[in-house]
Structure 1
Amino acid sequence: MRIFVSSVMAGFEEYREAAFAAIQSLDHDIVRAEDFPASTIPSRVACLQGVREADLVVLILGERYGWSETQSGISPTHEEFREAAAEGKVVPFVQSDVSREEAQQQFVEEVEDYDTGMHRGQTFRTPEELRTEVTRAIARYQLSAATTPVDVGALVEKARSTIPVEERGFVRMTGPLLHLAVVGGPTQTILRPSEIEDQSLLDGVVADLSSADGYFSYRRRTEPHLDHGALVIEQENGAALRIDEAGALLLSVPIEEATGHLKPLIEEHVGQAIEKGLTFADKMLEKFDRTQRLTRIVIAADIATSGVFGWRTSSQQAASPNSMQIAMDRSASGPVMLNPPDRTRMALRSERTRMAEDLLALLRRRYRS
């Protein structure tokens, strides 16, 4: 593997050398800023390219935050962390028994955040302890990565086929729905048939769907059933969740309807539904795949729009709720997907906002054009 070491450099040399020694002892290639050749590209770009090209990033945090008068306003180490975290390939090491600068303490808190951060191992005090911890972490990472290769093409095809296709002439009476498919790999059994039929599991999922983080209405009747071995839970307004034995999810999230006689899609309402769906998908994957056997995900999104025409922002709708121009070219069909379509499992949490923004932009292009 190619392993990038990210930390402050000045005054931290012996700790960096300890990390280098751990990587070398396991016969991996070290990627470090000290070895970068002279180049015409900025140092920031060179470092971030090093992170992107690495298979793993070892992040070492001590008491100093480092230089922050950068284009991004954060230190190079902080920026390298965020780049690596988006790909789910960073292992952090935090020094203990030191007095951290305020910015560094905030950085450590971001890294260790329970919901969006990374799980770190033991803290270290000395270079020797750091070397031991880095060696252990890399060995564990190798074992966890030694899984069946991910067939991205198969995940893409499954995500596309999971999105339901509306019948021609069908008129939805209860408002538009966002269909969001989240398919993970490598393909394996995440839920056994007996678990899918377990009443306590069903009750727990229904409770989650009806909670503040869910998208079901507690006022509506909930109907569960099996469909080709998958558990389907739905309500009469179209809200639904489908999960199969491989952990593939289909979330059908109601989109708030526009006011007025015309019922266009309201951009802000679509965005809220996407954010709600991605957040709940992450919650379900954590519920059923706590050890993250699914390492990559593919996301597909579409909107059931029968009886809905046009796309507007809320301000445009408020200004003219009863008249608008409607684009009738509906030649584009099928769900939208990100490019590249596959992302790390961690991205569903760490990059959720960016993915939601991109999915919204792709849907906007389709329904507003």
Structure 2
Amino acid sequence: MKIFVSSVMNGFQEFREAAFAAIRSLDHDVVRAEDFPASTTSSRVACLQGVREADLVVLILGERYGWSETHSGLSPTHEEFREAVNEGKVISFVQTGVTCEPAQQAFVEEVENYDTGMHRGRNFVTPEDLRTEVTRALARHQLSAATAPVDVTMMVDVARRLIPDEERGLVRMTGPLLHLAIAGGPTQTIIRPSEIEDNALMDGIIADLSAPSGYFSYRRRTEPRLENGALLIEQENGAMFRIDEAGAMLLSVPIEQASGHIQPLIEENVSVAIEKAFSFADRMLEKFDRTQKLTRIVIAADIRMSGVFGWRTAREQAASPDSIQVGMNSSASGPVMLNPPDRTRMALRVEHTRLTEDLLALLRRRYRS
């Protein structure tokens, strides 16, 4: 693997050398700013490019934040972290027994808040401690990666098939629904057959769905059942949650309806439904796959348009609630998907805002005139 080492440089060389030694002891290639050749690009661009090209980033945080008179106001190490965490490929190590500068303490808290899961390194005091912990963390990372390869094509197919086909000409009076499917890889058993039939597990999911952070109504009847080896829980308004033994999920989230005689999709309400779906999906993955066997995900989304015509913002609806020009992309078929379709599993948490915005844009193109 190509492993990028990110840290302050001045006064921290002894710790960087310890990390370099750990990486080389496992026959990996070290990527470090010290080795970057002279270039017409800025140091910032060169370092961020090094992060993008690396397979993994080792982040080492001590007491100093480093130079921050950059365009973003962030130190180079901070920018490198944010670039790496978007790809879910950072292992962090934090020095203890030191007093961090205020900016560095805020950075440490941000890193800890992102929670990089089982690949997170332990704290260290001395360079020797750091070398030991980097070696251990990289060995754990190698073991976790030594699984079946991720088949993105198959994940795309699973996500597409999870989105239900709506029968043409059939109009239900239950309002619009967001269908959001998430398929993970590499393919393996996440919930055992005996667990997925467990009544206590069903009750726990129903409680989560009916909580304020869920998307079910506690006033409506909830019906769980098994269907082709998957657990399916639904309510009479169309709200539904489905999960199978491989951890593939379908979340059908009601979209708040517009007021007035004309009831188009309201963009802000669609955005809220997407955010709810992402948040709940992330919690379910943590519930059933705490050791993060699934490392990649594919997302697909579609909207059931029962009783709804057109697409508007809330402001547009308020300005003209009783009339609308409707245009639909009738040539489009199937759910919308991101490009490329796969993302890191941690993207559900660290990139939920960006993912929401992108899915909303794709759905808007399809349903708005």
Aligning the two structures, in what range does the TM-score lie when normalised by the shorter sequence?
Answer: over 0.9
Q: CA deviation at 1:132?
A: 1.0
Please show how residues 45-60 of structure 1 align to structure 2 within 5 Å.
45-60=45-60
How far apart in 2 are the matches of 1:260 and 1:43? 56
Q: Does 1:247 align with 2:234?
A: no
CA separation of 1:329 and 1:185: change in aligned 2, threshold 3 A: closer
Displacement, 1:287? 0.8
Distance in structure 2 (CA, Å) of the matches to 1:355 and 1:136:
33
Partner SS for 2:174:
coil
TM-aligned CA deviation for residue 130 of structure 1: 0.9
* Matching of residues 123-162 of structure 1 within 5 Å: 123-162=123-162
**How far apart, CA to CA, are the structure 2 residues paired with 1:117 and 1:201?**
25
Q: Which residue identity lines up with residue 72 of structure 1 in the other structure? A: S
Matched residues, number: 367
Read off the aligned partner of 2:313 and give its amino acid letter: T
Q: Secondary structure at the match of 2:45?
A: helix
What's the secondary structure of 1:286's corresponding residue? helix
Corresponding position of 1:117 = 115
Verify the 8 A CA contact 1:239 1:252 in the aligned structure 2: yes
CA contact (8 A) 1:163 1:301 kept: yes
**2:104 is the counterpart of 1:104:** yes
Listed as ranges, the matches of 1:303-322 within 5 Å are 303-322=303-322
**SS in structure 2 opposite 1:179?**
strand
- What TM-score, normalized by structure 2, do the two folds share? 0.98
Residue in structure 2 matched with residue 290 of structure 1 by the alignment: 290
Amino acid in structure 1 at the alignment position of 2:115: G
State the Cα RMSD in Å: 1.0
Greater Cα shift, 14-23 or 325-334:
325-334
Residue matched to 1:267? 267
Shift of 1:329: 3.7
Q: 1:175-228 deviations in whole A, cap 9, x for unaligned?
A: 100000010011111112211111000000000000011000000000111111
Q: Aligned-pair distance for 1:72?
A: 2.1
For 1:8, the aligned partner's letter is V
2:255–2:270 Cα contact (<8 Å) kept: yes
Describe the superposition over 1:29-68 as per-residue Cα deviations: whole angstroms up to 9, x where unpaired.
Answer: 0000111111122222211111111111000000111122
Q: Deviations over 1:129-159 (max 9, x none)?
A: 1111111111111111111001000000110
Written as runs of structure 1 = structure 2, the 5 A alignment for 1:149-188 is 149-188=149-188
Amino acid at match of 1:360: L
Q: Which residues of structure 2 form unaligned runs of 5+?
A: none
Judge which range, 231-240 or 123-132, deviates more: 123-132
Confirm or deny: 8 A CA contact 2:300 2:336 kept in the other structure.
yes
Q: Output one character per residue of 1:222-264: Cα deviation in whole Å (capped at 9) or x when no partner.
A: 0111111111100000000011111100000000000111111
Deviation of the 1:346 alpha carbon: 1.1
Uncovered stretches (5+) of structure 1, i.e. residues with no partner: none
Structure 2 CA distance, aligned partners of 1:123 and 1:260?
58
User: Deviation digits for residues 96-150 of structure 1, max 9, x if unmatched?
Assistant: 111111110000001112xx33254331111111111111111111111111001
| Corresponding residue SS for 1:80 | helix
On the 8 A contact 1:110/1:117 being kept in 2, the answer is: no
